[in-house]
Each structure stands twice: as C-alpha cells, then as structure tokens.
Amino acid sequence: MNRDGQSKAEYVKRLHQQVKENLERRTQQYEKQANKGRKRVTFDVGDWVWVHFRKERFPAQRRSKLLPRGDGPFQVVEKVNENAYKLDLPGEYNVSATFNVSDLTPFEDPADLRTNPF
C-alpha cells in the first residue's frame, strides 16, 4: 500500500514538471511571436527626442486635428529605466517630464540628413 502511494506521488511530481516545462516553452513561443518585428529603442542622457502628444496627456495641444501631434526636440535629462525617460520639458506644458519610450522618437539633425542621404 505504501509503495503504491509513493509511485502515485512520483507520477504526480513528474506530471507537474512536464506541465511546467510545457508552459515555459509555450510562453517563450508566444513571446517570440508577439515581439516579432518590434525594435528596441533606448536613449542616453543628452540625446534629443521628439515627444508624441497623446490626447489624454496633452488636451490643450490636441484640441484640433490640424494642430501638430508632436513637439521637440527635447533633451533627455535622466534615464529612469529602460522604458521611461525624464526630459528637459518647458513648464508651459504643465505635465510630468517623465515619458514612456513609446511616446518618444529619436531626433535627427536635418543638416546631417542633407549631407548623408542614407
């Protein structure tokens, strides 16, 4: 009787291990598929970026569809983490100076683009 209980316990442990490995493998597959085509963007302190005006965060600047959807360039003052950056934003915007990387676009100097067309 005791031997039968031990074999069932071993079977359940092996089953749990197989399920855990299967879940990890499927999660990696889902993650790979979801991240396909995404580009990792990072900025350093001192870089210049454009800010995207979202309607929720900048209601005064997005009151008409004819107004610009972004502004800049602004300089990165601090890197909060891989996904958030603090900018040198003027006080006229009345919003927090910390932005998600999805709201930022790298600024290329137009003079540099003319000298190097590629």
Cα separation, 67 vs 59, in Å, equals 11
pLDDT tens per residue across span 35-87: 888 888 889 999 999 999 888 888 888 878 888 888 889 999 999 998 999 99
Q: Which two tokens stand for residue 102?
A: 């999805």
pLDDT score recorded for residue 111: 63
**Predicted local distance difference test score (pLDDT) of residue 28:** 96
Cα–Cα distance, 37 to 105 (Å, whole number): 17
Cβ(41)–Cβ(106) below 8 Å:
yes
Topology classification of domain 48-109: SH3 type barrels. (2.30.30)
Could you state, in order of their start, the residue ranges of all structural domains in the chain? 1-38, 48-109
pLDDT given at position 23: 97
Task: Count CB-CB contacts under 10 A for residue 117.
Answer: 5
Instruction: Answer yes or no: is pLDDT of 95 > 60.
Output: yes
pTM assigned to the model: 0.63
Instruction: Tell me the per-residue pLDDT of 50-59, one tens digit each, with 9 for 90 and over.
Output: 999 888 888 8
Mean pLDDT of the chain: 86
Q: How far is CA 59 from the centre of its chain?
A: 23
Element containing residue 77 per DSSP (H, E): strand 70-81
pLDDT of the residue at 2: 67
pLDDT reported for residue 54: 86
Q: Please choose, from the candidates 80, 78, 70, 81, the residue with its C-alpha nearest in 3D space to the C-alpha of residue 106.
A: 70
